[in-house]
Structure 1
Amino acid sequence: MIEAQAAERPADLLEFAWIWNQRAHLGTPGLHRRVLRWLQQAPASGDHRLLLMAFRGAGKSTLVGLFCAWRLYREPDTRILVLAADHALATRMVATVRRILARHPLCGALLPERAEGSWASDRFTVARPAVLRDASMLAAGIGGNITGARAELIICDDVEVAGNCDTPAKRAELRERLTEAEFVLTPGGTMLFVGTPHCAETLYADGQDGFLAGYRRLVLPLLDADGRSTWPERFPEDAVAKLRNRVGPLAFRRQMLLEAVAEEAARLDPALIARYAAEPDYREANGRGVLTLMGTRLVSGGGWWDPAFGRPGQGDSSVVAATFADGEGRHYLHRLAYVTHDPGAAEDPATQQCRTVAAIARDLLLPVLRVETNGIGGFLPGLLRQEIQRTGIACAVKEVTSRVPKVQRILGALDPVLAARRLSAHESVFRTPFPREMAAWRPEAAGARDDALDAVAGCLAAEPVRLPLLPPRANLPSWRGG
């Protein structure tokens, strides 16, 4: 029946998507209907430069995949190029469209008789009247070579990601590579950008000086002007609150509210850290050790050492942070030590500091110490293992090389736990310079004191993500004989 109706009148995009969703036993929510209408009407009204910004989890890539399949259904000679941050991401979009074409009841005529070399995961060619050199759909990473390709429709799907826009040089390179797409697009063709902002100088910034100035935009944040969810069936109020706590306010504003927020908008407020004075209590029960803090059982913990060997009070600080975590995802910053050495002592500075760090691990029963080996820390793990062995404790020493920029490490680890009020600190921590460093820290400030922040962030980021404990399932009555 569907095929007979299609022969009389080709389906519009909303009908095309509704048929697909019915086959997959899915609904078509109002948010999706709005996007689908916009994707069809904007090019039809003469707008061929488009930007679709929707919050993470809105299903925008799926909707754009349906749009591409519908475009091939209506115009089989269309050539589509998908650009993404890397080739694998672009291939996912092409594979999605290929799967839609293979299963959609209106697209049977597009399937080629022999799909051997022309029906791959990153490129395919439908049965079409024209004889063209380029595939019907092709995937390419933003760094790939697209010279010589031609396309009537270019989809730039998540070309901006956290890893290619965190420095001015990377942002300039991204824009330069995207300019190459202008030479691929045929006259009268459509360029569609799909994504979310990842930095303040985002590719999707509005205004006359923006890279996409003049583009017709559809911007769909998760929350409307009154703070209500635009997709309450999937993102109810409590789920939105939990998500904001998990990712932190900065990432939430960028990825879910689509705001190009600068890092300097983030402020680390020490008043958000709860204070306590208790010490961990170690006991053994039934032959197993149990460590508790204020009556709460601790399930993990460890230390992070960011070493430095300058003279005390000069240069970078050598900082050790020690944290614990309970089964509910709460973190406890129990010790923060600014490790120093005596320049006039007979022992070298490295041995002095390793001995101090080993004593901290012994006193707190730390199961692991992570040593940041960037720069001067390369030889320290072996020396620290020797000192730990002398103390007679079982503490693993792990070497860590940090490749993520320090600002991202600090914000990514501290911002979510502070927003969720899940970080507590021992009162001794507040007698160190840490609270002042934290209050004065600004992401954009060069040369700011952040050694302690970096060590605490390393501890928090190294903690495993734990699933909530579920109540045991009740035993069902047995219905089997015997």
Structure 2
Amino acid sequence: MILDQLRDFRNFLYLVWKHLCLPDPTPVQYDIAAYLQHGPDRKIIEAFRGVGKSWITAAYVVWRLYLDPHVNILVVSASKERSDQFSTFAKRLIAEMPVLAHLRPRPGCRDSNIMFDVGPARASHSPSVKSVGIFGQLTGSRADEIVADDVEVPKNSETQVMRDKLAERVKEFDAIIKPDIGKVTYLGTPQCEQSLYNVLPQRGYEIRVWPAQYPDEKVRLAYGDRLAPMVAEALDLGTAQAGMPVDPKRFDEEDLEKRKLSYGRSGYSLQFMLDTSLSDADRYPLRLRDLIVRSVDIDLAPTRVVWAGDPDLVIDDLPNVGLAGDRFHRPMAISRSPEGYPELAPYTGSVMAIDPSGRGKDETTYAVTKMLNGSLYVPDVMGFRGGYEEDVLVELAQAAKRNKVNSIVIEENWGDGMFTQLFKPVLQRIYPCRIEDGVKHSVQKEKRICDTLEPVMNAHRLIVDPEVIRKDYQSIQEYPGERAHHYSLFHQMTRITRDKGALGQDDRLDALAMAVAFWTDKMAQDAAKRQQEHREALLAQELQKFIQAAGGKGPRNPSWVRV
């Protein structure tokens, strides 16, 4: 017989807590319990470390069996050991609580800590509760509800390859849950901006977040509508202020400060505030805000371009695939003559870097950079499927012609120079141009890319044409939806770390790094000094014209005029 009071899971949770000799559930714990009972069929619970979300959910699993002993529940965690602990706890509650005595396994029932039936359950291939690791034997299971308890941990989400593998693995849940009545509940803490939990909303999941402290306006804005209503309402009504503990019965302000010191700012932000923005800013070295976005002419450029991070310089009408809060900026100023006209000069040179496609999902990519006074201008970057085909080689040659490059460098780690030999006759026919000695890399790719681009971008010496950004975004639309953004140059730029395998795709970024590396030895030039030299050269020319116009021949290079 089901007691009417226990149809509300919060009342059942109270009984469990009393059985465990714990204090009464806190308001946050009751709020999580209500969300477990009344939330959508596909939901994600993100709550600060130590709030007891796994214990609450184990009690919820038992409560579901109390209401309906015929349901099947699958518990999945990052490791088999973790999921086994969950099911063992649920089994002990059934064995120890008098109100659950009728659920205890009968003779003939499965009765292990990792897989058990409750007594009244009908015969079924699937046990009442089963635990499994995320990369364990999921196929063949059936369930009314899946509880995914910390399926994402640092060990399986350090790189983009690992995150992709995990994201594909959890798709199996859709084949496991029963149609129409199936539910999936995730419990977890995001490990980074590219966390699985931040991708799942695109698949129809709702996220609810309970941070340890009330957030300030900036962090609250990052949460959006994911912040638990009880937290948002307290801030709106003025009954709580930013920095106050959300669950003081669990962790008071002094306790949280100690944990902040112990975890460090980044670790505390992730584990207790569930905010990835600080972690991402520290972890990812390349940011869109360090670029200068301005139209790039093929032949001429300003002798100096000045960057600034002012809010009024932010560009809002370009596709932005960067991290939260990262924005493109237009220049604050460009060099001008005393009369106020833009001060332009021809480039020192122009180079095109090509990264041939390997196998599988890689792209053949190219990037063009032009140099003037220590700054690099990027008029064109593109990637496309294919490798050694004639139409690919023709497209590359036409891109070199279109951008009037002086030299081409080709990455030769693939094919020992075969691509270069195939490309030469096509290039000779369309746009005769010098091909530099093939580039071979021995340094770890991610470290090499970061070490090349970070100092240039931090010095705000990389100027990108806005059309590069638009074309990059448009070109990835042909790829499958969930993976399309992995092919974007600017997604790769803002997600790379120095960890091996940090990106699933890095072809466009690698080509840009090669094109930038070509100019590394020339980047030490001081832009202001070069601008002054350019002005003095122009002055010398004007003086020479004046002397000739006045009727005097004058010396071709007067000793008193610096050229």
TM-score, normalised with respect to structure 2: 0.44
Aligned to 1:50: 43
- Greater radius of gyration (CA): 2
CA-CA distance at 1:8 after TM superposition? 6.2
Aligned to 2:439: none
Whichever residue aligns with residue 128 of structure 2, its letter is: S
CA-CA distance at 1:121 after TM superposition? 1.2
- The 5 A counterparts of 1:2-41 are 6=2, 10-26=6-22, 27-41=24-38
- Alignment partner of 1:193: what SS? strand
Whichever residue aligns with residue 239 of structure 1, its letter is: D
Q: Does 1:259 align with 2:252?
A: no
Cα-to-partner distance string for 1:345-390 (whole Å, 9 max, x where unaligned): xxxxxxxxxxxxxxxxxxxxxxxxxxxxxxxxxxxxxxxxxxxxxx
Size of the aligned set, in residue pairs, is: 264
| Distance (Å, rounded) in 2 between the aligned partners of 1:198 and 1:215 | 18
CA-CA distance at 1:104 after TM superposition? 1.9
Whichever residue aligns with residue 205 of structure 2, its letter is: Y
Aligned to 1:113: 106
CA-CA distance at 1:234 after TM superposition? 2.6
Whichever residue aligns with residue 282 of structure 2, its letter is: A
RMSD: 2.6
2:93 aligned to 87, 91, 100, which one?
100
| Distance (Å, rounded) in 2 between the aligned partners of 1:8 and 1:53 | 30
| Distance (Å, rounded) in 2 between the aligned partners of 1:211 and 1:230 | 25
- The 5 A counterparts of 1:342-357 are none
Change (3 A) 1:128 1:232: same
The answer on whether the counterparts of 2:121 and 2:128 sit within 8 Å (CA) in structure 1 is no
- Alignment partner of 1:186: what SS? coil
The answer on whether the counterparts of 2:148 and 2:186 sit within 8 Å (CA) in structure 1 is yes
CA-CA distance at 1:237 after TM superposition? 1.2
| Distance (Å, rounded) in 2 between the aligned partners of 1:267 and 1:125 | 46
Whichever residue aligns with residue 261 of structure 2, its letter is: N
The answer on whether the counterparts of 2:51 and 2:250 sit within 8 Å (CA) in structure 1 is no
CA-CA distance at 1:49 after TM superposition? 0.5
Aligned to 1:159: 151
Change (3 A) 1:267 1:172: closer
Aligned to 2:260: 244
Whichever residue aligns with residue 75 of structure 1, its letter is: D
Q: Does 1:220 align with 2:235?
A: no
CA-CA distance at 1:229 after TM superposition? 0.7
| Distance (Å, rounded) in 2 between the aligned partners of 1:164 and 1:15 | 37
Whichever residue aligns with residue 35 of structure 1, its letter is: I
The answer on whether the counterparts of 2:73 and 2:143 sit within 8 Å (CA) in structure 1 is yes
Query: Greater share of strand residues, 1 or 2?
Result: 1
- The 5 A counterparts of 1:159-198 are 159-187=151-179, 188-198=181-191
Identity over aligned pairs, percent: 28
Change (3 A) 1:224 1:164: same
Cα-to-partner distance string for 1:292-346 (whole Å, 9 max, x where unaligned): xxxxxxxxxxxxxxxxxxxxxxxxxxxxxxxxxxxxxxxxxxxxxxxxxxxxxxx
Change (3 A) 1:23 1:264: closer
| Distance (Å, rounded) in 1 between the aligned partners of 2:259 and 2:44 | 25
- Alignment partner of 1:130: what SS? coil
Cα-to-partner distance string for 1:73-104 (whole Å, 9 max, x where unaligned): 00100100011001001001101111111122
The answer on whether the counterparts of 1:204 and 1:212 sit within 8 Å (CA) in structure 2 is no
CA-CA distance at 1:41 after TM superposition? 1.4
The answer on whether the counterparts of 2:46 and 2:210 sit within 8 Å (CA) in structure 1 is yes
Whichever residue aligns with residue 163 of structure 1, its letter is: K
- The 5 A counterparts of 1:449-468 are none
| Distance (Å, rounded) in 2 between the aligned partners of 1:200 and 1:78 | 35
The answer on whether the counterparts of 2:105 and 2:116 sit within 8 Å (CA) in structure 1 is no
- The 5 A counterparts of 1:252-401 are 252-261=268-277, 263-266=279-282
1:229 aligned to 204, 224, 245, which one?
245
Whichever residue aligns with residue 96 of structure 2, its letter is: R
The answer on whether the counterparts of 2:270 and 2:279 sit within 8 Å (CA) in structure 1 is no
The answer on whether the counterparts of 1:263 and 1:444 sit within 8 Å (CA) in structure 2 is no
- Alignment partner of 1:133: what SS? coil
| Distance (Å, rounded) in 1 between the aligned partners of 2:152 and 2:4 | 42
Whichever residue aligns with residue 199 of structure 1, its letter is: C
The answer on whether the counterparts of 1:202 and 1:260 sit within 8 Å (CA) in structure 2 is no
| Distance (Å, rounded) in 2 between the aligned partners of 1:9 and 1:445 | 53
Q: Does 1:136 align with 2:133?
A: no
Aligned to 1:79: 72
Aligned to 1:348: none
Change (3 A) 1:132 1:233: same
Unmatched 5+ stretches in structure 2? 216-241, 285-445, 448-493, 500-563
Whichever residue aligns with residue 150 of structure 2, its letter is: D
Aligned to 1:89: 82
Aligned to 1:204: 197
The answer on whether the counterparts of 1:264 and 1:444 sit within 8 Å (CA) in structure 2 is no
Change (3 A) 1:102 1:216: same
TM-score, normalised with respect to structure 1: 0.51
